[in-house]
A and B are shown apart, each in its own frame.
Chain A
Amino acid sequence: MTALLARDLRLAFRAGGGFGLALAFFLIVVVLVPFSVGPESSLLAAIAPGVLWLGALLACLLSLDRLLALDFEDGTLDLLVGAPIPLEGALSVKALAHWLTTGLPLVLAAPVLGVLLNLPLAGFGWLTASLLAGTPALSVIGTFGAALTVGIKRGGLLLSLLVLPLYVPTLIFGAETARRGAMGMEATTPLAMLTGITLATVALMPFASAAVLRMGLR
């Protein structure tokens, strides 16, 4: 499994277009927001937590179809299904690799982009905490979506349609944590709910992902 993780990370770093792309996409979305709603700083401060969460979510989504599709094309997935390690574990590792190359950079970049959107000072800690707690769920749920659509040609759009409704609870609690934090309100309740969702999905979703992947590859 460590070898699989190392392989996925190496592929993401060296194969080009994967690692930096989500980050650049996040940056562009955040930069475009003031152009679309106007440069008024009080308005930007009010919507900053939501915009940052939405941007992170979309950037996560963007890299999902690469998660399994490339491995499907060159036959690696068939080997993984037949490998002596459980497929659930292999998919967890792939989700972890996706999080390390997409989610974690987004978490680190979000406070910097928060400055661009005039995020209130109190919100930075909560924003980072909420993204740190929430993005693993995005990766794990995304792996399920990728496993569902792996055998389908031109599955990219379908993947978004399937995955985005599943992202709703995570987005609600994540953005709520960041918003309450930014407004100086008590934010531990949504943060606890968000962490709960993440832990539950990390524990359970790999089983669903492995089940649909086996069905899809049969």
Chain B
Amino acid sequence: MSIWQYANPVKFLALSTRVQPVIWTAAVLCVAVGLLWGFFATPDDARQGATVKIIYLHVPAALMAINAWFMMLVASLIWLIRRHHVSALAAKAAAPVGVVMTLIALITGAIWGQPMWGTWWVWDPRLTSFLILFLFYLGYIALWEAVEDPDTAADLTSVLCLVGSVFAVLSRYAVKFWNQGLHQGTSVPVATGGRSVADVFFYPLVVSMVGFGLLFLALVLYRTGTEIRLRRASALLARAGRES
């Protein structure tokens, strides 16, 4: 038994169809509980008023936007090293989800920034890095769409993902150098353990973060399954075309 047996598309599909209902239920439950709890059952912040509640959408989306890219990076590496097709297809399936998460983070951030900072957009390091991440996602998806041969497309996008990761990190620090910003630092630093968010706001936020993580997992499993079936259908079509 090793994890690599799920590189076999049949086994992967069997497992993913079995676990998907569970993950979907858990994801919907967590997101619903996190958001409803956050929106209706927590008090308004002393200074920020009700605007603080967008945090339950903004922070989890931003978290998953970055983690989706990490997942694509790992999947690309697995494809380049071990050449498992499921891995390449999972990277392909994750990209649009990542784009949507990035967009949610950017838009909710703008909606929050208007009353709080008095502006929809500032060229703050965090905001700018996210915009650049968004551009990287777009380029990645566009390259998948543009290359016709699926294996070549997987190769090229994987290398783009690796090179893009290096440049994304580089941009992150370059942008920091370029402009010090308005955005606050992280409120829930995992490494140091301390946090600047009160418990009433923190628990629904954690539930929402877990929910978004599960939602991402469910979406990626679902989309990967679709991609595998699509690949299978096109192979069948090609065979039928040859025989007739």
Contact = CB atoms under 8 A, between A and B. Distances in A.
Interface of A: 144, 148-149, 151-152, 155, 158, 161-162, 164-166, 168-169, 172-173, 176, 190, 193, 197, 205, 208, 211-212, 215-216, 218
A168 B135 CA distance: 11
B174 interface: yes
Contacts of B132: 165, 168
A158 B143 contact: yes
Chief secondary structure at chain B's binding surface: helix
B163 to A, nearest CB: 5
Contacts of A162: 139, 142-143, 160
Contact of B146 (A155, A173, A208): A155
Contacts of B164: 165-166
Contacts of A168: 132, 167, 171, 174-175
A148 to B, nearest CB: 6
A208 B142 CA distance: 19
B165 to A, nearest CB: 11
Interface stretch (B151-159, B188-196, B201-209): B151-159
A172 B171 CA distance: 9
B155 A215 contact: yes
Given A151-B152, A152-B147, A161 B159 contact: no
Interface residues of B, number: 24
Interface of B: 132, 135-136, 138-139, 142-143, 146-147, 152, 155-156, 159-160, 162-164, 167, 170-171, 174-175, 177-178
Q: Which 8 A-B pairs have the closest CB atoms?
A: A215-B155, A169-B174, A165-B135, A172-B174, A162-B139, A169-B170, A168-B171, A172-B178
Nearest to A171: B174
Given A161-B142, A208-B162, A212-B159, 16 more contacts: A144-B163, A148-B160, A149-B146, A152-B147, A158-B143, A161-B139, A162-B143, A166-B164, A168-B167, A168-B174, A168-B175, A172-B174, A172-B178, A176-B178, A212-B155, A215-B156
B178 A211 contact: no
A interface: dominant SS: helix
B144 to A, nearest CB: 11
A112 B170 CA distance: 32
Contacts of A215: 152, 155-156, 159
B170 A212 contact: no
A206 to B, nearest CB: 12
Nearest to B141: A161
B159 A208 contact: yes
A158 B156 contact: no
B175 A165 contact: no
Nearest to A168: B171
A178 to B, nearest CB: 13
A218 B150 CA distance: 13
Q: Which of A149, A155, A172, A190 is most buried by chain B, counting CB atoms within 10 A of its CB?
A: A172
